[in-house]
């Protein structure tokens, strides 16, 4: 069963935050919330969410610093900034830092929900511009478009569609370990609660075999104990040019 999309609301005004949470839940979103810059960063980096609603005026910091830290760790996570009327400079700064959209307070709930839906529709395509993942140390590369592994020796291995989606998701989030639960939601599109997380482990084991990556001491597709999976630091992510 597909899981509800998950939204993190970072807003210090309790009344506005409660209104946003209630409106999102009414639209069947799963909602998390934070009221300060510090809690916002911690939640953004620890919670598996599909989109962030981010106020730019926060106690203990500001939304732009939160956005910078989110972009450094989760470069493809959609962010919509919430700004006061007249804060044009902040809106421009937010967009330059990678925000996907902005909404000016006071805003229409209907407009906000439409903007959230539009951003979420666009977001699954974001990692699709990643075409190759190269591992220079072992002279092997992953061609995501042709769905195959290629070795300098001339040998090749075919990849399944799910394996391509899995590798692309790791490549789109190169600086952090991805948990099994997050992979189940975003690659397999199932709710991890009650699901067999061995599904992820078995796919990783098959991929390591195809990549000639020693399962006992992997060098390419790493296991970070208690956190999940990520590529080695030597992986080179190649994106198509716009």
**Residue 118 vs residue 207, higher pLDDT:** 207
Q: What is the pLDDT of residue 214?
A: 84
Q: Which of 60-64, 69-73, 125-129, 138-142 has the lowest mean pLDDT?
A: 125-129
**Residue 157 vs residue 85, higher pLDDT:** 157
List pLDDT tens digits, range 1-45: 345 789 999 999 999 999 999 999 999 999 999 999 999 999 998
**Domain regions of the chain by residue span:** 6-107, 127-239
Residue 195 CB neighbour total at 10 angstroms: 17
- What's this model's pTM, rounded to 2 decimal places? 0.64
The answer for residues whose C-beta is within 8 angstroms of residue 49's C-beta and 6 or more apart is: 6, 7, 8, 32, 77
Q: Quickly state the pLDDT bin for 127 (edges 50, 70, 90).
A: low
Q: Is the Cα dihedral 46, 47, 50, 56 positive or negative?
A: negative
Record the tokens describing residue 101, joined without a space: 């959209």
For residue 126, give the 3-state DSSP assignment. helix
pLDDT at 145 over 80: yes
Helices within the chain (DSSP H only): 14-26, 37-46, 63-73, 88-96, 109-122, 161-172, 180-186, 198-210
127-239 has CATH 1.10.1740.10 classification? no
How many CA within 13 A on the CB side of residue 188?
Answer: 18
Fold of 6-107: Rossmann fold (3.40.50)
Q: What is the pLDDT of residue 155?
A: 94
Cis-peptide into 203, omega within 30 deg: no
Q: Are 208 and 231 in contact (CB under 8 A)?
A: no
Maximal C-alpha separation, the chain: 63
């Amino acid at each position: 069963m597909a899981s509800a999309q998950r939204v993190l609301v970072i807003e210090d005004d309790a009344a506005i935050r409660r209104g946003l949470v209630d409106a999102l839940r009414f639209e069947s979103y799963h909602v998390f919330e934070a009221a300060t810059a510090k809690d916002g960063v911690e939640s953004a980096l620890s919670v598996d969410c599909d989109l962030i609603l981010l106020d730019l005026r926060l106690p203990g910091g500001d939304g732009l610093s939160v956005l910078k830290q989110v972009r450094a760790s989760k470069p493809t996570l959609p962010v919509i900034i919430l700004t006061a009327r007249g804060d044009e400079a902040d809106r421009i700064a937010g967009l330059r830092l990678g925000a996907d959209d902005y909404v000016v307070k006071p805003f229409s709930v209907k407009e906000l929900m439409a903007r959230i839906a539009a951003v979420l529709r666009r977001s699954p395509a974001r990692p699709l511009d990643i075409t190759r993942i190269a591992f220079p140390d072992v002279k092997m590369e992953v061609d995501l478009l042709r769905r195959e592994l290629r070795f300098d020796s001339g040998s090749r291995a075919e990849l399944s569609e799910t394996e391509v989606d899995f590798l692309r998701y790791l490549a789109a989030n190169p600086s952090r370990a991805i948990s099994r639960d997050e992979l189940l939601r975003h690659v397999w599109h199932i709710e991890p609660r009650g699901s067999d997380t061995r599904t992820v482990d078995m796919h990783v084991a098959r991929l390591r075999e195809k990549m000639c990556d020693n399962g006992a001491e992997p060098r390419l597709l790493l296991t970070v104990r208690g956190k999940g999976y990520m590529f080695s630091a030597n992986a080179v992510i190649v994106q198509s040019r716009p």
